[in-house]
A and B are shown apart, each in its own frame.
Chain A
């Protein structure tokens, strides 16, 4: 690796992954709900906004304003998509993990053996 990869926090990683999963439909509230559903954590809106802002500053997501809706009082949402750089970062993290898992001499036994 020529350039040192940008550091991603664990929470940022989850947000970034979720943005990738939601493919162009990712915005504050939707992300919050999705993450609560998937991870079971109690996540608050301001945390998601803060994380998205940090990711955007790091260049891993980009955003554009979407369509206004009625329940938002006619306000537009900001829709996020993962940038190529973000994708690559996610991929690298995954590679490192897979690599480490495969090198584990004795992968944990399944919890239940029949």
Chain B
């Protein structure tokens, strides 16, 4: 009957050796006594508890003065450990250049990996702010196109769906919330206007989104004329005053009262940009056309968000509403729809951000591509840094063969040497880690701006430290592995005698690593060039209008009504403006699509679908569209009110050889338009996609005019024109806000996502090259040093500097050429895949590969030459004299 052996071992480990005998004796005696008293099982437990009680400083403290009981030194291992650290530090200081390259390179690599890690974390935690993340979904409706048998659809839904989901499908959904699209509004307080982004949604939204209500409650939106503001918005509008019960006007027409303030939703969420919420019924009551949609199945314009009942799974609810149309649509409407095989599904919140693109009707692609891409880049950059680190430490360690020999000769055993090299490599990794944290902290604000994020290092998050610890251990271990095990196995006699020959293949792993490094770098460089090519290609695309000097203004104020003519003449009178036009949508977007048209020669089986814009007479002149055939709308022809201008794509789509003069019938079979002109395609939507077939109707009475487009006189500067334009608008519509945008800036914004990716990729590519070059530089100097004598002999025998430079550079150039050969097909494959995603894309040209390859060679030569020439210029006397 013995006390637990494991506990005894633990005690032996922690207890000071000079106390162990008495303590262990006491514990054993106590154990024997307790066994008598309470039985063995409980005594064992007690023994454990007692041993743990001795893990205290008093029992662990080693004796400082040798003498009284025994001669154990202070903690057993630290002397040698301290010696290892000392030697490691001395080595670092002695080879300053190596140390800087080694630690700096690794630190940069770690910092890049950390930044990418933060980016990934941010992307993956999108929308997770909401407590009901797993139970929230958006309703999606779609069908199969009978012609192409492609599945398509959208989150734009019919108004009556909401009520039916709420009543008939109650068992699935806790909340069914109708909502409008998140968009910009003017909030008016007194005579001050604020441009804010808002969402009209039903009253349960604060609860569903688990908003943190600082003022008010989850029921704050139940009052029809209420509004809840984010904290920052409330502060921006009301300062330090209490915003509750203050009155506001949305777009100068909807009266609301503040009933709550919520903590801002973080940026990485669908509703992160929303600065206020207002009730959906208010939006319905404020828009006549929406009111008319209440029982209308023909209009799809509305969003529906749902939260599941706690006991219902996403899959169950999704399957349950699949046949929604067949069960609930009016039969007349259903008959028309049936050929599309309509279905309804739920799009879970977890896919909103990362899988925003639908393939075959399922959320399948989107940001997740970049999550993978950057994840892989991060791993590779880190790998590059680690490879460097390993390469340099192994290269260095061969120089230390003698040290190993001496250590062995005076009694080191193999494990001690392993420990020594391991602790050196850990020291360097830890130093690099500290440096990388400093780098990240200093570069984070810049990176946030570049990536359009709001991130910080999670110092308080144990996961961060855990990952860092694992990483440090792993890198330290990998980097220390080779020197630790290879060098410690040397035979001291041979090493000291100097007969150790590191065979031809000792350098092979190093060469492979260099090839891997440069392959990754070259792939990154080629990828970056192609991303930029693609952006440039889309930028240079002919857009069909002249965006120079165009400004766009959203007329979201009811007081514009009836003032269009006046506004126009007053603006032109300033002399700052050449043309003014009104339209139903801005030049950089299409807001309306319509079908059901008929024309001569139309395939009766084929459906028709057109983008639709309503424009005023001078629109064409203002934006400068170009006619292929026919003419522009003109005030001289009163018949133009039923005139129609189509774009080139529409002419092709309709299979009309001579479109001008043809007639188009609307789906009511009554209204008819005559095509009077064909224009070159205007790029209004994505610059990467083909232009959609578009109809431009004349809006003679300004009934659909929501956008004002102004062409600034080319002879004056925008800076001079803007204040005058503002004056005119303030004079005619005093309540309106002057929130103008330059059309070319709006157009440029369409490139921001790709540009961001391009910038990030180029930063990473530059860093990858830098890290690779650092490694190469270190290796080259090592090789040059190793071959000092050889170079001396060659010089004496008559080799020129050029000969020697070639000799030393040859090996590296060879390696880089191999990497280029490997990198080209890899880069071509991936970039081709990427480009195929875009309908309007550039071609991959051969010169990109040539440029990347030659660039890599030049950089290699520059890096290596510095060392090579330095070695070649050395006086042979100095290199040969010493012995």
Contacts and interface: CB of A to CB of B under 8 A. Distances in A.
Residue of A28, A49, A76 with most chain B CB atoms under a 10 A cut-off: A49
Nearest to A57: B58
Interface stretch (B17-25, B206-214, B236-244, B801-809): B17-25
Contacts of B19: 49
A29 B50 CA distance: 12
B32 interface: yes
B28 A46 contact: no
Given A29-B33, A46-B56, A76 B22 contact: yes
Interface string B210-251: 000000000000000000000000000000000000000000
Interface in A35-57: 44-47, 49-50, 53-54
A45 B28 contact: no
Contacts of A47: 53
Interface stretch (A11-19, A66-74, A84-92, A102-110): A66-74
Nearest to B58: A50
Interface residues of B, number: 20
A26 to B, nearest CB: 12
Contacts of A76: 21-22, 25
A14 to B, nearest CB: 18
Given A29-B33, A44-B50, A44-B53, A49 B25 contact: no
A75 B32 CA distance: 14
A53 B23 CA distance: 12
Interface in B33-54: 33, 49-50, 53-54
B495 interface: no
Contacts of A50: 56, 58-59
B85 interface: no
Given A29-B33, A46-B56, A46-B59, A75 B28 contact: yes
A71 B59 contact: no
Residue of B22, B32, B49, B53 with most chain A CB atoms under a 10 A cut-off: B22
A24 B677 CA distance: 119
B12 to A, nearest CB: 13
Contact of B28 (A44, A72, A78): A72
A46 B23 CA distance: 9
Interface string B1-24: 000000000000000000101111
Nearest to A50: B58
Nearest to B3: A73
A72 B23 CA distance: 10
A72 B59 contact: no
A32 interface: yes
B284 interface: no
B26 interface: yes
A73 B25 contact: yes
Nearest to A69: B29
Contacts, number: 65
Contacts of A29: 26, 29-30, 33
Contacts of B29: 29, 69, 71-72, 77
A49 B23 contact: yes
Contacts of B28: 71-73, 75
B32 A71 contact: yes
A29 B28 CA distance: 10
Contacts of B59: 46, 49-50
A29 B25 CA distance: 9
A75 B53 contact: no
A29 B32 CA distance: 11
B27 interface: yes
Contacts of B30: 29, 32, 45
B22 A45 contact: no
Nearest to A31: B26
Contacts of B33: 29, 33, 71
Contacts of B22: 27-28, 65, 75-78
A23 to B, nearest CB: 19
Interface string B543-565: 00000000000000000000000
B503 to A, nearest CB: 56
Contacts of A28: 22-23, 25-26
A75 B26 CA distance: 9
Residue of B24, B56, B58, B59 with most chain A CB atoms under a 10 A cut-off: B58
A18 to B, nearest CB: 15
B24 A46 contact: no
Residue of A44, A47, A54 with most chain B CB atoms under a 10 A cut-off: A44
Contacts of B49: 44
A76 B30 CA distance: 14
A38 B44 CA distance: 26
B32 A45 contact: no
A27 B25 CA distance: 10
Contacts of B50: 44-46
Contact of A46 (B21, B32, B53): B53
A16 B19 CA distance: 20
A90 to B, nearest CB: 23
Contact of B25 (A44, A54, A75): A75
Contact of B26 (A49, A53, A54, A65): A49
B54 A46 contact: yes
A33 B33 CA distance: 10
B695 to A, nearest CB: 89
A59 B33 CA distance: 31
B544 to A, nearest CB: 86
B24 to A, nearest CB: 6
B25 A53 contact: no
Contacts of A27: 22, 26
Contacts of A71: 28-29, 32-33
A77 B25 contact: yes
A94 B24 CA distance: 35
Given A33-B33, A46-B59, 11 more contacts: A28-B25, A32-B30, A44-B49, A53-B58, A65-B21, A71-B28, A72-B25, A73-B25, A75-B22, A77-B25, A78-B22
Interface of B: 19, 21-30, 32-33, 49-50, 53-54, 56, 58-59
27 contacts: A27-B22, A28-B22, A28-B23, A28-B26, A29-B26, A29-B30, A29-B33, A44-B53, A45-B27, A45-B30, A45-B53, A46-B53, A46-B54, A46-B59, A49-B23, A49-B58, A49-B59, A50-B59, A71-B28, A71-B29, A71-B33, A72-B28, A73-B25, A75-B22, A75-B28, A77-B22, A77-B26
Which 6 A-B residue pairs are closest in the complex by CB-CB distance? Answer: A75-B25, A46-B53, A28-B26, A72-B25, A78-B22, A71-B32
